Structure 1
Amino acid sequence: MEEGVISMEILDRYISQLLENSTPECPAWFKEKREEGCGLKWNYIDGCMIKAVLELYHMNQDTGYLEFADGFIDRFVNEDGSIVSYRPEDYNLDNVNAGKTLFDLYHLTGKAKYRKGIDLIYSQLQTQPRTKGGNFWHKQIYPNQIWLDGLYMALPFYMQYEVEYNGGKNCGDILRQFCNVREYMRDPRNGLYYHAYDDSRSAFWCDPVTGLSDSFWLRALGWFAMALVDTAELMTGEPRKRLSAMYRELIDAMLPYQDQASGMWYQVVNRGGIEPNYLETSGSAIFAYAIMKSARIGLLPPSYFSFGEKAFDGICSRYLSVENGELQLDGICLVAGLGNVERREGTFDYYMREPIVKNEAKGVAPLVLAYIELLKKHEPV
């Protein structure tokens, strides 16, 4: 679609299309689940999308969004607070992410089971294994590893629990985990952060001296940016100032890599123009949202808003289209991680091999959140 022609009606239509074709067992935005066979499984991907749906409700008070979000999450959370397929003892930070929806749903519906579910997920963080420096392991199956992804999955939830239910007692722990990541994972030469770090230096994908992975992956940097914004929003005083400074430093490092024509960023951020690198939707949408939101709440000067808006416009211009009468969002990296199989080695070639898909929540949800920021900017309520 041509830049500048994206209207409220088009984005609203796209969102409605996805919701109408989704159930908790088989959501339209979860490509992997639909291919593997549908069923109830607690996961971070649904968490991203339902969080965006709840933000839409807060934006326009359309009860249809609240009813959809409540009906979706209600299917997972039992009356005693247990959650279908969720096991705290897996110590998987990805599984914390969907817990963010429970705060809103508890406040909005008053269902006691959501409050119990919040406590269950918090119990995981209380015993989550940690690196020597005090950061959460990304997963039990990835010992001693810190991934940028995990900071977004867990720390905004952790911070919200501290603010609402624990008097902020562990705010220092949260701040320290961010500061450790800056110390371990930031490249001082360009200000970018590597995707992951192995404190034990034993993973096959890491540098045996530094413990760092090979590349600067866009979506991982985006997860980190959102983690900083969403956590700092809940902080006050000196901790907020420190996260704000860390965040602005990150954005100032990212802006030189923003594609001037489209406003987007490349899948491997610092290797734009090297084939087959490509302008990637999900990470660009995450930065569009993070930049616009942070300009609104004062973590960045208002002048930065335009960088996020340009990214949003570029995504819609390049990757949002109509096929067979339905809207499609393309250019989304399906999944990329580091792990226990050799093909996930974190090199440039690896990030180029991962599938590119349409209408997947890791791209859709941040685009919806960025859309909400535009509405707040241009059509305040």
Structure 2
Amino acid sequence: MKNTGDISRLLSSVSLGLARLKGMNETAPLAGGRFTIQFDEWDWEVGVGLYGLLRYAELSGDEDLIASIAAWYDWQIERGLPPRQVNSTSPMLALSILIDHVDRPDWQALVQDWADWLVSGLAKTEDGGFQHVVKERMNDGELWDDTLFMTCLFLARAGKRFNRADWIDEAVHQFLVHTRYLGDPVSGLWYHGWTFNGRHNFAKAFWARGNSWITVAVPELIALVGDAMPPFAKRFLQSVLRSQVSALETLQRDDGIFFTLLDDSQSPVETSATAGFAYGILRAIDIGLLPEKYRPIADKAFQAVIARIGEDGIVLEVSDGTPMGHDLDFYRRIPNVPAPYGQALVMLLLVETLSGRKKMERLRSTRMAGAE
């Protein structure tokens, strides 16, 4: 798929698929026959989806879509937000960007208050890591790779938006702490979790979507923070990302897809992780974090992903939300469901691909004009 029109149409289809999701594994017709975000719960699944949707709206300049996103936030905030924890922080990332488009001082105040809570109120582990507290449990002493996407991108963006260097520093610190305990120096891949209660990595699972959160989060952090990123941290995270992507290159199936357990070809294939890997690699190449030699990984993954988008725009072979597994069979048994994060990671990939193709078209046009 090379044509920008085809990619745009596919993006529209996947975004409509997201709008149809009312809950995990629950789809419905579009509300009133128009684009309305119907997802009922304020939590991580929709938070990732909203970020993908907002990136699409910004690329396309779609003010109606931005208004639909704002309407969802209005509805949720008015009805009352859930207790603050790692996963309920995820929707704050899109909100911290939406305030650039919508004049809502109350939302700006919420963004600042929530960012301050992350630093001062969220439970911390040894070494000051963000404990992966979720609505179901405290996960005492546990670090999960999901945390970096769910909390730290928002914290860094809020720090940049409100000129709070301390928030940016805390977000960067979390990346360093999580790398220490979750990054495997032998393979370059990331374990799903670490616990200080026993000091181990649970099942030692190289879980695909968990790894993809890292592939996405590293370039996103650097892009969101820009020149406020400490040079030493950028250099360090660049090397971490390169080690991971080098490992991914050896584990990708011939058709471009990745397995739920990256190093286990008997585990199911997984589309959302594959989309996350492709997006993160393309994003990293675009901002100069990775060299061009890694582009074929993303190109192969892109073809695998678009082959798994249904005619109704729902992304197929996306595994359900995955708590910490204590054995590898746990990950092999995770069922597939329609999920907003699956839609979102595919949307991010399509947005990045479309943006890249448009840049190439502009460059060719400029060259042709110069030749005349």
What TM-score range do you get, normalising by the shorter chain?
Answer: 0.7 to 0.9
In structure 2, list runs of 5 or more residues that go unmatched: 29-37, 363-372
Q: Which amino acid aligns with 2:131?
A: W
In structure 1, list runs of 5 or more residues that go unmatched: 22-26, 202-208, 339-344
Equivalence for 1:307: 297
Deviates more, 1:145-154 or 1:46-55: 46-55
Q: 1 or 2 for the larger relative contact order (CA 8 Å, sep ≥6)? A: 2
Equivalence for 1:8: 7
Equivalence for 2:172: 175
Secondary structure of the residue aligned to 2:101 is helix
Equivalence for 2:64: 64
Equivalence for 2:366: none
Secondary structure of the residue aligned to 2:128 is coil
Q: Which amino acid aligns with 2:286?
A: R
Over 3 Å counting, the alpha-carbon distance change for 1:351 and 1:4 in structure 2 is farther
Cα distance between partner residues in 1 of 2:131 and 2:103: 33
- TM-score, normalization by structure 2: 0.84
Are residue 373 (structure 1) and residue 352 (structure 2) matched?
yes
Are residue 349 (structure 1) and residue 339 (structure 2) matched?
no
Secondary structure of the residue aligned to 2:165 is coil
Equivalence for 1:124: 117
- Answer whether contact 2:145 2:214 (CA < 8 A) is retained: yes
Deviates more, 1:146-155 or 1:299-308: 299-308
Equivalence for 2:48: 48
Q: CA deviation at 1:33?
A: 9.4
Cα distance between partner residues in 1 of 2:19 and 2:91: 21
- Answer whether contact 2:156 2:168 (CA < 8 A) is retained: yes
Equivalence for 1:86: 82
Equivalence for 1:205: none
Cα RMSD of the aligned pairs, angstroms, is 2.4
Q: CA deviation at 1:7?
A: 2.1
Equivalence for 1:270: 263
Over 3 Å counting, the alpha-carbon distance change for 1:182 and 1:17 in structure 2 is closer
Runs (4+) off by over 6 Å: 3-6
- Of all paired residues, the percent bearing the same amino acid is 20
- Answer whether contact 2:19 2:39 (CA < 8 A) is retained: no
Cα distance between partner residues in 1 of 2:15 and 2:95: 22
- TM-score, normalization by structure 1: 0.83
Q: Which amino acid aligns with 2:321?
A: V
Cα distance between partner residues in 2 of 1:12 and 1:228: 24
Cα distance between partner residues in 2 of 1:13 and 1:111: 27
Equivalence for 1:154: 151
Q: Which has the higher helix share?
A: 2
Corresponding pairs, count: 342
- Answer whether contact 1:175 1:243 (CA < 8 A) is retained: no
- Answer whether contact 2:282 2:298 (CA < 8 A) is retained: yes
Q: CA deviation at 1:285?
A: 0.8
In the TM superposition, 1:1-381 aligns within 5 A as: 7-8=6-7, 10-15=9-14, 17-18=16-17, 21=20, 27-28=21-22, 30-31=24-25, 40-78=40-78, 84-88=80-84, 92-125=85-118, 126-139=120-133, 141-201=138-198, 210-233=200-223, 234=225, 235-259=229-253, 261-272=254-265, 274=266, 277-317=267-307, 319-322=308-311, 326-338=312-324, 345-357=325-337, 359-380=338-359
